[in-house]
Amino acid sequence: KNEVEQSPQNLTAQEGEFITINCSYSVGISALHWLQQHPGGGIVSLFMLSSGKKKHGRLIATINIQEKHSSLHITASHPRDSAVYICAVIDTDKLIFGTGTRLQVFP
């Protein structure tokens, strides 16, 4: 079993839909990253959080340390949100990555 599990693996949506991607982890962590990877391979850090909730534009990330679970929400999804979303937990001094969720948003 992977230390970081994401669901779903693949997700398709119509433009405007509300999207939720989930991340569960089994190790003790100090913080958690949500990353976005576009087809070219470049990775953008969306959030780093260790408690509660963060919001940036249409993106919201929440984390529940006791339940070892985090969610990434996208409100009013848009085709440009199509990418792979990766959850990564900080285990002492390195990142452990989930396998990613491939999101496709259709117009």
Partner 1 sequence: EAGVTQSPTHLIKTRGQQATLRCSPISGHTSVYWYQQALGLGLQFLLWYDEGEERNRGNFPPRFSGRQFPNYSSELNVNALELEDSALYLCASSLGLAASYNEQFFGPGTRLTVL
27 binds partner 1 (CB under 8 A): no
96 binds partner 1 (CB under 8 A): yes
Closest CB to partner 1 among 14 and 99?
99
Residues 68-87: x where in contact with partner 1 by CB under 8 A, - otherwise, as a string: ------------------x-
Strands (E), 18-99: 19-25, 31-37, 43-49, 52-56, 59-64, 69-74, 83-91, 94-97
- Determine contact, residues 86/97, Cβ cutoff 8 Å: yes
90 binds partner 1 (CB under 8 A): yes
7 binds partner 1 (CB under 8 A): no
65 binds partner 1 (CB under 8 A): no
98 binds partner 1 (CB under 8 A): yes
Residues 6+ apart with CB under 8 A from 66: none
